Structure 1
């Protein structure tokens, strides 16, 4: 890979050949990048470049972490009308390798709490946040924000073409896919769109065969699966089918019998090795309420509780075929024990 535009005639690290200097910078943990960016202009441009990210990914120096829309333990603001403390959410970052917790910087437009029920997806090392309700007015939003881990900065993306809540979301092949949910009048939707963070453009993906409110999205290979959901006239009657978008051809098909009818799929759909869908809720007796599962390779970061009001637990489980799927408890740093609403895996 050509890095000549960044290196010019200077050594990346004085006294070392260029290839060794590049190898040293490639091994820097992401937590050190904010400091490394300030060392010199060559390091700054290199570490923020697409070429460097692709190079690190190719040689296995990237790391998969989970980004979680999580309730904050502290509530920084009170509702002016009621005086009560409304729910306040931020983005927590958990690294399953180091077992370390951290926070992603707040979205500048929402410094005191994310839009309620917003959705996350990842794309080429960036985090994409979209939709949700305004935390003050509870109005549905179409706003899109992209967090670049290379620069540790948020930028505003092009708004969603339609207002929708509780929609399916997934990412693959450089784009983020959304489908279903409901509009501001509670009408279930069957429309679908794809967003490209690089071009900042939305593309119409055609309608699904049926309306699917409160559905869940998951990407399996080169397919975007929209799991379960219900129509406008069937409130809460979750369907057992899924609709599958072939990302390459743009064609939809329906698959029956892949989900238990009547079961909400939100934040608890997983995929095992043979491509079969699995419900994380009930995988263990301690995971029955407020369950959220984020796949990180063959492992899953799980959160939930046994019953309403029970302590919220965090676990790591290996979903590989042949494993006993025993849950391993995760030690939670102070301030990160709140309810997880949704999340995604990001390769940084």
Structure 2
């Protein structure tokens, strides 16, 4: 397959790749198949964290003129803040934020329009390119649910909540979203209903490590 960098041992070449800025990965992955394969591996980002060279960011909804209309990113390493490109949909209301496989994943909660996916993803490795729309949840309407991410496996779990917009119909349903495959699967119903209305105004920011 050849060396990572001509004339350099692979261990030195890997050290060079590890120290690149995350925003450059979109172009770096196009150099060759081997570089692309390395930058896709979870172990590569775990090593960046171990060496304390990963980029840490806090992502949160940003208000403009009193309306939440975009996501702001605060870079803890550079002590700077910027806005991501606008999401091509209204983002008012309650959203769940997760960081999985170097993707910021937003899942709409309260009053999600069932005709749209209500899932949006931003890949920090793409060098500032646009958001992409994710697959629809396998349910017409679901509000007030809880969610949790398994970053290692690239999965997001959505459980409980309400089956209508009146918050009078708690449900036992559970779903799992595979970020890399952009696919939802239905899990077996839980043994009990979960009334999760109390957490509807949480989950509007997340810490990202890349």
TM-score, normalisation: structure 2: 0.73
1:104 is displaced (CA, Å) by: 2.6
Cα distance in 2 between the residues matched to 1:106 and 1:157: 16
2:83 maps to what in 1?
103
- Asked whether 1:343 is paired with 2:199, we answer no
Q: Decide which of 17, 20, 24 is 2:12's aligned counterpart.
A: 20
Quickly say closer, same or farther: Cα 1:347–1:206, change in 2 above 3 A. Answer: farther
1:212 maps to what in 2?
195
1:189 maps to what in 2?
170
Aligned length: 200
Quickly say closer, same or farther: Cα 1:11–1:121, change in 2 above 3 A. Answer: closer
1:252 maps to what in 2?
none
* Structure richer in helix, relative to its length: 2
1:200-241 per-position Cα deviation (integer Å, ceiling 9, x unaligned): 23232523633414243xxxxxxxxxxxxxxxxxxxxxxxxx
- Asked whether 1:203 is paired with 2:186, we answer yes
Cα distance in 2 between the residues matched to 1:203 and 1:60: 38
Q: Decide which of 15, 18, 22 is 1:30's aligned counterpart.
A: 22
Q: Decide which of 70, 92, 97 is 2:72's aligned counterpart.
A: 92
Q: Which has the higher contact order (CA 8 A, sep 6+)?
A: 2
CA-based RMSD? 3.3
Q: Which runs of 5+ in 2 are unaligned?
A: none
Q: Secondary structure at the match of 1:203?
A: strand
- Asked whether 1:147 is paired with 2:147, we answer no
Q: Which runs of 5+ in 1 are unaligned?
A: 1-7, 74-85, 217-264, 268-293, 295-341
Cα distance in 2 between the residues matched to 1:22 and 1:36: 13
1:72 is displaced (CA, Å) by: 2.9
Superposition map of 1:101-250 within 5 A = 101-107=81-87, 109-110=88-89, 113-114=90-91, 116-132=93-109, 139=113, 141-152=116-127, 153=129, 154-162=131-139, 163-172=141-150, 173-174=152-153, 175-186=155-166, 187-191=168-172, 192-199=174-181, 200-207=183-190, 209-216=192-199
* Rg larger in structure: 1
